[in-house]
Structure 1
Amino acid sequence: MARETSPGRNPAWPILSRRAWLQSTASGFGYLAFAALAYEQALRDTAAAATENPLAPKPPHFPPKAKRVIFLCMDGGPSHVDTFDYKPRLKADDGKAPPRSGGGGFRFGRLMASPFQFRQHGQSGLWISELFPQLARHADKLCLLHGMQTDLPNHPQAFLQMHCGIFQFPRPSMGAWILYGLGTENQNLPGFITINPPLGNGGPANYGAAFLPAMYQGTRIGRGFGGFGGPGGPQAVANLQNPRQSLAAQRVQLDYLQRLNRQALDESGGHSEIEGLIASYELAFRMQGELPKLLDISNESASTLRLYGLDGRGSAAAPGGAGGNPGPARAAFAQQCLLARRFAEAGVRFIEVTLGGWDHHRNIKEALAASCAAIDQPIAALLQDLEQRGLLRDTLVLWGGEFGRTPTAQGDGRDHNARGFTMWMAGGGVKGGFAYGRTDDHGFEAVEGKVHIHDWHATILYLLGLDHEKLTYRHAGRDMRLTDVKGHVVKEIIA
């Protein structure tokens, strides 16, 4: 039967009857309806997944340079003029009265030259004290921030501000903000771990979540100063395993308990503390299978243990008269640095390792030398280990304390100084072998390249792909953020 044609129509095209056309169109409408329903269901599934697992990985605001953070926190305020901020003028003016400040105010005491020698290291020629002979070999990895500033020279306030941005009111810690913004890569481990945090200077607030949902707070490992435990350290996490019940029996018991918790959550209309409790119980159950293996360093190679100084051979004598092996303090800190690498490798987003004892008001020559000897080899090993494993390029390593020390003497020590001090970064997208900012000729205060603690936080978030002005949480009628209403990214240090 010949096909009908019409003027201007291609004879090869068939003519559809009205019935055929309606049938095809109906199928199209059905397809469109199905696609719309499928899309809506996908959105609901995504929202449900986010509600059920708020710790799931989240996309950053823009491409990040770093995926994780290791913060080496020196509790007490290390002296910048004896470690990383070389001041030849301070040596020349040893014993003299200090000049007036830029604002015309008086500075008290007498100038005290550093008892330690400084040398330039690496191709970059960074000035580093003799207190860090092994870390100095990695000078070209370090980005020294010489213009650091914070608001008050008091330990509790400055320590809280370093961690939470603000010390006046309860605020989430930096690690909690980062976990809230990015989630975690390993659902069987906490996304935020703090090793050996101090009991004072704010205590749990330094790793707390404040008004953020409770599941974003840090998981503490260790019991305060000196309480970390020996090699392997399973005793550092209390009640991690239950020797009286099998995992299957625990699961049955936990399921019943969680049903009660979810009922309480429904009746409360949604309560973050109950949500955090539910999430923490589930995480604790999953951790039993993975965390003990991470805490057991016995499976590390002999060369890795030797690198960190955990092979029992000790370390070189400390300079400046401290002498000998720094002993248990160095061994404990070395173990913690090694665990930090293992946590980073396992997908933990934010790891903090704390060492106290940096408040050197007296006997700074021997005391500071002992403190530095405890961390020199472990930190150098951590940087080398991360680099060898290809982790340093996307792991941001931070080092520093809540403030620095005065260039003037306080007996045979130094007092607090919040107006100018040094912290450093390495890896994670920062320039290596680079010094940014400057204090005055004696080291009293920052005069160039000033980096307030708000700027430090903004820069850390930027390197992780987060805009500090957009990382907010609605609380008390306003959008809260880590940097409050301040802070700018220090673009000059970014590679």
Structure 2
Amino acid sequence: MCHHHDILRSNSEDLKKIEKQMDRRQFLTKTSMGLGAIALGSLFGADRLLAGTGGDNPISGIKGIPGLPHHLPKAKRVVYLFQSGGPSQFETFDYKPKLTDMFGQELPESIRGGQRLTGMSAQQSSLPIAPSKYTFDQYGESRAWVSELMPHTAEVVDDLCFIKSMYTEQINHDPAITFFQTGHQLPGRPSIGAWASYGLGTDNQDLPTFITLVSKNAGGQPLYSRLWGNGFLPTEHQGVQFRSGKDPVLYLNNPENYEGKDRQRMLHYLKEMNEVQHSTYGDPEINARIAQYEMAFKMQTSVPEVTDLSSESDETFDMYGPDSRDPGTYAANCLLARRLLEKDVKFVQLYHRGWDQHTHLPGGIKNQCKNTDQATAALVKDLKQRGLLEDTLVIWGGEFGRTVYSQGKLTQDNYGRDHHPRCFTMWMAGAGVKPGFTHGETDDFSYNITKDPVHVHDFHATLLHLMGVDHEKLTYKAQGRRFRLTDVHGHVVKDILS
């Protein structure tokens, strides 16, 4: 024990000597950083910035910005079921019966209107119309149209708020996904969950504010950790990925043959050294590092507990489907998401790849729906029966839709669809949105929006509004300007609010 104190005292004295020996340039650097830290403290709150200057537990978790929420939130937590690849609206929720008699006909130029095509479609000599192979029916009191591929989702339509008039400018996967997750097509901006963490903080001190789950073995377009990154926000706001297997969070477990009994004491000494470092240099990122070490220590207990599904009943597993017993599958991640939401994790993000069906779409999308439909509906049912849906916002959707025309060879049983950003379908459920409601309409070809368009920025503005945040007021200054999730755009879609 004395040896540890000797090391700490030695390091502290060395840092103080460095501080005393500063030249003019170092002094100006230090004081400017200190002033910057004070300015940042006005955003974070003095208790947050100056945490770590004394006491046994200086940082008790991520706190939000003073003054937030701006208004009473409807959603205390969010789960975003992101269907990566661009699900076809024709085979899921946007029923277009008039296309049946137009099989193989050329898409009218009056409908296309010279709109941008991908490089793949531009190479085709024709754009033949491909009606959906699958049938639709109406369900629930809302009489919502749902494809035969989504029988379980059909059971919960009266809890869903469909938005059939979503649109984006991004026509390729990476910029389109990046746009949906960060509000900008180029990498580098904070993700939605990071903004929520930064603005609102956490209601759970033992788990991260923002957690990401990615379905295993799903194939499809690659996903990058920057999609749930913190961008220019402090690092404590980045999403933490939970994985299947014995180590749900990388580098969280103790090294092999290390019992970890002195880990808390070691972290205490490390915290004190970081506090000396912070008092010397005034870098607020040091406090973020202290908080991350402390969170990692807490997660050594909280993560194994929340990721252990063995306590779930057979009835619950049956509701989510057989894949829910296989960690890392979409179904298992939906069940884990419910457990995280029960623990008041602020933002849970699921990614499921494989919706990019340029060829052999009928078989491909059938498999995708089989792998996701039951668990998606089960999550809505489960949250509702536990009384959590009323203050939890559930979101389902991808980065864009698919074209009415076939990409490649068209037959009655086989066709593909290219990317289509001009109109597609998403849905929300739960906190603050109208249940059993459909917003927006598209033309008979699901090629153009005919009523109530909703842009990605509008979607983000509405999401933040439901969490009690005015999207125009949640800003962060970086690189000489103030940024926000919605950039300089976005309007709350008031018609879908309950």
TM range (shorter): 0.7 to 0.9
Find the residue that maps to 1:424 and give its secondary structure: strand
| In 2: Cα distance, 1:395 partner to 1:296 partner | 22
Determine if contact 1:438/1:449 at 8 Å carries over to the other structure. yes
Residue 398 of structure 1 pairs with residue 395 of structure 2: yes
473-482 vs 93-102, which deviates more? 93-102
Determine if contact 2:324/2:335 at 8 Å carries over to the other structure. no
| In 2: Cα distance, 1:244 partner to 1:343 partner | 30
Find the residue that maps to 2:405 and give its secondary structure: coil
Matching residue of 2:266: 253
Matching residue of 2:203: 185
**AA of the residue aligned to 1:187:** Q
Residue 241 of structure 1 pairs with residue 253 of structure 2: yes
User: Mapping of 1:259-278 within 5 angstroms?
Assistant: 259-272=272-285, 274-278=286-290
User: Mapping of 1:353-432 within 5 angstroms?
Assistant: 353-411=350-408, 412-432=415-435
| In 2: Cα distance, 1:51 partner to 1:204 partner | 30
User: Mapping of 1:3-42 within 5 angstroms?
Assistant: none
Residue 348 of structure 1 pairs with residue 357 of structure 2: no
Matching residue of 1:96: 105
Find the residue that maps to 1:286 and give its secondary structure: helix
Runs of 4+ in 1 over 4 A off after TM superposition: 197-202
| In 1: Cα distance, 2:221 partner to 2:361 partner | 22
Residue 217 of structure 1 pairs with residue 238 of structure 2: yes
| In 1: Cα distance, 2:110 partner to 2:271 partner | 61
Matching residue of 1:316: none
Deviation at 1:280, TM superposition (A): 1.3
2:297 to 260, 281, 285: 285
Matching residue of 1:34: none
Find the residue that maps to 2:404 and give its secondary structure: coil
Deviation at 1:218, TM superposition (A): 0.4
Matching residue of 2:334: 337
Residue 195 of structure 1 pairs with residue 181 of structure 2: no
Determine if contact 2:170/2:185 at 8 Å carries over to the other structure. no
Determine if contact 1:407/1:444 at 8 Å carries over to the other structure. yes
Cα shift readout 1:1-39 (whole Å, capped 9, x = no counterpart): xxxxxxxxxxxxxxxxxxxxxxxxxxxxxxxxxxxxxxx
Q: Structure 1 46/354 Cα, relative in aligned 2: closer, same or farther at 3 Å?
A: closer
Provide TM-score, normalisation by structure 2: 0.81
Deviation at 1:169, TM superposition (A): 4.9
Deviation at 1:181, TM superposition (A): 1.1
Percentage of matched positions with identical amino acids: 44
Determine if contact 1:458/1:467 at 8 Å carries over to the other structure. yes
1:131 to 149, 155, 162: 149
Larger Rg over CA atoms: 1
Determine if contact 1:159/1:201 at 8 Å carries over to the other structure. no
User: Mapping of 1:435-446 within 5 angstroms?
Assistant: 435-446=438-449
Cα shift readout 1:332-356 (whole Å, capped 9, x = no counterpart): 1111000000000001000011110
Find the residue that maps to 1:397 and give its secondary structure: strand
Determine if contact 1:455/1:487 at 8 Å carries over to the other structure. yes
Gaps of 5+ in 2: 1-41, 52-58, 118-125, 409-414
Find the residue that maps to 1:408 and give its secondary structure: strand
Find the residue that maps to 1:469 and give its secondary structure: coil
Determine if contact 2:84/2:221 at 8 Å carries over to the other structure. no
| In 2: Cα distance, 1:311 partner to 1:447 partner | 39
2:471 to 468, 472, 481: 468
Matching residue of 2:165: 147
| In 2: Cα distance, 1:275 partner to 1:115 partner | 57
**AA of the residue aligned to 1:301:** S
**AA of the residue aligned to 2:102:** D
Deviation at 1:291, TM superposition (A): 1.1
301-310 vs 245-254, which deviates more? 245-254
Deviation at 1:290, TM superposition (A): 1.1
| In 2: Cα distance, 1:135 partner to 1:79 partner | 16
Determine if contact 1:215/1:275 at 8 Å carries over to the other structure. no
| In 1: Cα distance, 2:47 partner to 2:170 partner | 44
Find the residue that maps to 1:144 and give its secondary structure: strand
Deviation at 1:221, TM superposition (A): 1.4
Find the residue that maps to 1:405 and give its secondary structure: strand
Matching residue of 2:6: none
Matching residue of 1:454: 457
Q: Structure 1 360/308 Cα, relative in aligned 2: closer, same or farther at 3 Å?
A: same
**AA of the residue aligned to 2:233:** L
Deviation at 1:262, TM superposition (A): 3.1
Matching residue of 2:184: 166
Deviation at 1:383, TM superposition (A): 0.7
Deviation at 1:235, TM superposition (A): 3.1
Residue 56 of structure 1 pairs with residue 56 of structure 2: no
Deviation at 1:239, TM superposition (A): 3.3
**AA of the residue aligned to 1:212:** L
Residue 117 of structure 1 pairs with residue 135 of structure 2: yes
Q: Structure 1 348/101 Cα, relative in aligned 2: closer, same or farther at 3 Å?
A: farther
